Amino acid sequence: MDLFEQNRENAKKSAPLAARMRPTSLDEWVGQEHIIGKNTLLSRAIKADKLSSLVLYGPPGTGKTTLATVISHATQAVFMQINATTAGVKDIQKAVEEAKSAVALYAKRTILFVDEIHRFNKLQQDALLPYVENGTVILIGATTENPYFEVNKALVSRSMIFELNPLSHENILTLLRRAVTDSRGLGELKITAHDDALHFLADKANGDARTALNALELAALTTEPTAAGIEITLETAAACIQKRPLMYEKNGDNHYDTISAFIKSMRGSDPDAAVYYLARMLYAGEDPKFIARRIVICASEDVGNADPHALQVAVAAANAVQFIGLPEGQIILSQAAIYIACAPKSNASCEAIFAALDDVEKVQVKSLPIHLKDPNKPKAVGSLAHGAGYKYAHAFPGNYIPQQYLPDELKGRKYYNPTENGVEKKIKESLKNLRP
């Protein structure tokens, strides 16, 4: 091994664990099965070395640069990489000239990987566009921003867009276990990593493999070895990711207990308890969309028509959380949960639908009232005309006229019984004058 090769080996060993553990082939790939799984379009294109220009976007640590690394090992094309945060128009021009030379001298295509492509300004993106369009370079762009908003529309229209999702808990757990045993990672350090420590790191990484691997490396390098090697405990892992471990498994009892306490606190009109359990779930890495769905349900089930605005607030919060994400989304969830907790309560709408469903199941209704049936249907021989005798409410004073709406078998049933709370008090007064 000459001096240069020795330097390269030393550089590899001193690289961060996340960089050392990057897969070099599809066989080592973990996660993102929806775009890189077996027989997907992208996996077939990589294996066949028939890539067209593409843009990869998703949160940090989801594998955008790693996928580019896999492609660089799989392709016979010349592979070049630039970073949009430091590269300028001259760097683009240099890459294009090298791509032209590769075609002329070696009849080889060139793949140009542009990391953080959304950082290119309009001038830089326009400088690249003609060479993507004529095939001088095959572009692979990586971005954490939605390319439909942040990347030149002409570049986007000439590229396939692939969205990478946050990695699952199991995906990250697989990567951590591999890093502990693989010689490229920490395999030579004789590490014993407790299972609860690895689960904790996988959970707290929030789908970011780099965060989990960085924390694992920090734990390994800062733990005093013993004769048996290095032991990574839950306490060590928690210190390295700078979060206190909570007893909260996303599919375990604590998950269900905490969401139950959250809902009951909103129902019980305790905004302080509601926001505490909300914070507990967010801290533990709970999916904010799951929390938002529970708030929407509570707004209808437990507040109902006592404050019809509660459902509007909850639905707006759910939409906003999807649009904004975390961490700012936690403010929106807090606002909605506190509003629901402070709102007047009524479960009358909830009780109404359950009572009606019970009658649907148990009471046999032979026919709907004839005056409520569709008058546009042809009349059967010997039958009354559908719609006959129907009274149009808007043709009467106050837009109301008494008539039977329920089937004969359920005549007089009252499913909806409004409370004296909030807006429902007015609804109750109104119904007193309308119900016979």
3-state secondary structure of 301: helix
Looking at residue 25, its pLDDT comes to 83
Looking at residue 377, its pLDDT comes to 65
Taking phi first (over 0 means left), then psi (-120 to 50 degrees means alpha), and beta for anything else, what does residue 116 get? left
Looking at residue 398, its pLDDT comes to 84
Asked, as a colleague might, if the bond just before 327 is cis with ω within 30 of 0, I would say yes
pLDDT of 110-135, one tens digit each? 889 998 888 888 888 888 888 888 88
pLDDT of 169-209, one tens digit each? 899 999 999 999 988 888 888 888 899 899 989 888 878 88
The mean pLDDT value of the chain amounts to: 85
Which H or E element spans position 279? helix 271-283
Looking at residue 299, its pLDDT comes to 95
Distance CA 173, CA 167 (A): 10
Distance CA 257, CA 250 (A): 11
Task: Flag whether pLDDT at 4 surpasses 60.
Answer: no
Distance CA 150, CA 121 (A): 10
pLDDT of 146-171, one tens digit each? 888 888 888 888 888 998 988 888 99
